[in-house]
């Protein structure tokens, strides 16, 4: 991956992680680095779970495609729901 692609991937991953944390109300617990990790790992999870249903890739494949961002966002939300389930005993 070229350096510009890596920077775009990190920025989009951070935005996806931040949006997911806002929707799941975990934003106060997360910083920038954790938002990036949630976005990228959520993109991987979204690719496994949702890319076949929607026919889209993830930000790991095409970071500037709206469908890829939405699939990655869904994956990040699922990831945060799983983390909340283990941490608090509830999805939210």
Query: For the segment 14-52, what is each residue's pLDDT rounded down to a tens digit?
Result: 999 999 999 998 877 778 899 999 999 998 998 888 888
Q: Which pLDDT band holds residue 63 (cuts at 50, 70, 90)?
A: confident
Using DSSP's 3-state secondary structure scheme, residue 89 falls into coil
Q: Nearest CA to 75 among 30, 36, 20, 26?
A: 20
pLDDT, residue 78, reads 94
Q: How far is CA 5 from the centre of its chain?
A: 17
For the chain, which residues make up each domain, given as ranges? Answer: 3-88
DSSP state of 90: S
């Amino acid at each position: 991956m070229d350096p510009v692609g890596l920077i775009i991937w990190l920025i989009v991953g951070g935005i996806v992680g931040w949006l997911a944390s806002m929707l799941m109300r975990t934003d106060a617990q997360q910083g920038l680095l954790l938002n990036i990790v949630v976005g990228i790992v959520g993109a991987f999870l979204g690719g496994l779970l949702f890319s076949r249903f929607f026919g889209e890739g993830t930000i790991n494949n095409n970071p500037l495609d709206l469908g890829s961002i939405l699939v990655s966002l869904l994956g990040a939300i699922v990831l945060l729901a799983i983390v909340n389930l283990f941490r608090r005993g509830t999805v939210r």
